[in-house]
Amino acid sequence: MSYLDAAKKRATELISSKNAVILAIETSCDETAAAVVKNGREALSNIIYTQIPLHRKFGGVVPELASRNHVDQIGLVVAAALEEAGLDKGDIDAVAVTHGPGLVGALLVGVSFAKALAMSLNVPLIGVHHLMGHIAANYLTYPDLEPPFHCLIASGGHSDIVEVKDYTDFVHLGGTRDDAAGEAFDKVARALNLPYPGGPELEKLAESGNPNAIAFHSAFNMGDSFDMSFSGLKTAAVNRLQSEPNVRPADIAASFQFAVNSILSDKAIRAAKSTLALAGGVSANRNLRDMLEKKAGAKGVRFCCPDFKYCTDNAAMIGSAAYYLLMRGGLSDLSLNAVPALEMQSS
């Protein structure tokens, strides 16, 4: 029997039993991650090898270095994920991998490894969209959370408001026209001489600043659209730093964070009906979590945000999303490729 026939047969069995232990791999940017996830909701292991120290001296991710480092680490990280789960390769029912969006060389390492592993074990292969994974981080955190709900995704590469109609069915309501929220945080942090990645550093600095010290206005974000723009705010913050040498860096950080988070939270809350989830690396920002919690409470909307360990890139979220793809027949074949600008499925 060919690999594909064996994988299809196995997938049919898994769908009818609704049980699947999935080994998931995530290498879309600067984290080499692997996890074992049971039935989409339970992370049996979650190993993250971060390359941040490697890229820090360059002030950002160097794609070629990221790819090479993924090659060095992937085997070790997958072995560690199996060990932490107390499982052997033979216990794995399916292999999942992020195949986009992300850095092409980095994605290719995960995709190639996952293909080889799935083929050697004769189990289904599931290609997962990175942002679908970020949304699924909420399923690992809230056992009762089910679609439909709305989700604000804010990461280093994306800022989107989506309606999650079903586990694998999304409607894009709006997104950034330019910089992603995380990217804007990183760039302003860099202007403040903070190390990479700047988002968490800017958050720390903002704690001792006054969010009302400087009013960063943005006409574009005032409209009814769910689209957003952060590059004007970013330029205003950088210009302020350059033109006013005496301005307190902590005030810039706090005021900029307040401006970005106000836009994200106002738009997301306006889109939300009964439940709003937060996803992506910026979901680790406490100020954003608090703001959303308050605004959701005032509108009578349930607010969900991932456990901190599932906010930034990890493979457990990929394993969760993969379970729902698998259950809906979303099998990949060995032609699965890395797609740097992969679009999300929508109805």
Binding-site ranges for ligand KG4 (CB under 6 A): 29, 155-157, 182-183, 185-186, 197-200, 203, 280-282, 284-285, 312-313
Q: Nearer Cβ to ligand KG4, position 27 or 168?
A: 27
Contact 166, 132 (CB under 8 A): no
Q: Nearer Cβ to Zn ion, position 155 or 265?
A: 155
Give the nearest distance from C-beta 279 to Zn ion in angstroms.
9
203 interface partner picked from ligand KG4, Zn ion, none, CB below 5 to 8 A per type: ligand KG4
According to CB under 5 A, which one of 26, 30, 186, 313 is a site residue for Zn ion? 313
Distance between CA 247 and CA 187 in Å, rounded? 18
Question: The tokens of 309 are what?
Answer: 């360990």
Pick the stretch among 36-44, 56-64, 96-104, 311-319 that binds Zn ion (CB under 5 A): 311-319
Question: The tokens of 213 are what?
Answer: 């010290």
182 interface partner picked from ligand KG4, Zn ion, none, CB below 5 to 8 A per type: ligand KG4
40 interface partner picked from ligand KG4, Zn ion, none, CB below 5 to 8 A per type: none
Binding of Zn ion at residue 265 (CB under 5 A)?
no
Give the nearest distance from C-beta 277 to ligand KG4 in angstroms.
14
Give the nearest distance from C-beta 185 to ligand KG4 in angstroms.
5
Q: Nearer Cβ to ligand KG4, position 305 or 331?
A: 305
Instruction: Specify the amino acid at residue 318.
Output: I
Question: The tokens of 55 are what?
Answer: 């890229």
Give the nearest distance from C-beta 88 to ligand KG4 in angstroms.
30
Give the nearest distance from C-beta 190 to ligand KG4 in angstroms.
10
Give the nearest distance from C-beta 136 to ligand KG4 in angstroms.
13
197 interface partner picked from Zn ion, ligand KG4, none, CB below 5 to 8 A per type: ligand KG4
Q: Nearer Cβ to ligand KG4, position 168 or 285?
A: 285
Site string for Zn ion, 84-123 (x = CB under 5 A): ----------------------------------------
The three state secondary structure string of the chain is CCHHHHHHHHHHHHHHHCCCEEEEEECCCCEEEEEEEECCCEEEEEEEEECHHHHHCCCCCCHHHHHHHHHHHHHHHHHHHHHHHCCCHHHCCEEEEEEECCCHHHHHHHHHHHHHHHHHHCCCEEEEEHHHHHHHHHHHHCCCCCCCEEEEEECCCCEEEEEEEECCEEEEEEEECCCCHHHHHHHHHHHCCCCCCHHHHHHHHHCCCCCCCCCCCCCHHHCCCCCECCHHHHHHHHHHHHHCCCCCHHHHHHHHHHHHHHHHHHHHHHHCCCEEEEECHHHHCHHHHHHHHHHHHHHCCEEECCCHHHCCCCCHHHHHHHHHHHHCCCCECCCCCCCCCCCCCEC
Using a 10 angstrom Cβ sphere, with 0-12 exposed, 13-18 middle and 19 or more buried, the burial of residue 297 is: exposed
Give the nearest distance from C-beta 118 to ligand KG4 in angstroms.
24
Binding of Zn ion at residue 168 (CB under 5 A)?
no
Binding of Zn ion at residue 283 (CB under 5 A)?
no
Give the nearest distance from C-beta 230 to ligand KG4 in angstroms.
11
Pick the stretch among 88-96, 148-156, 231-239, 325-333 that binds Zn ion (CB under 5 A): 148-156
According to CB under 5 A, which one of 51, 155, 265, 283 is a site residue for Zn ion? 155
Beta-carbon count within 10 A of 290 CB: 12
Binding of Zn ion at residue 138 (CB under 5 A)?
no
Binding stretches for Zn ion (CB under 5 A): 155, 313
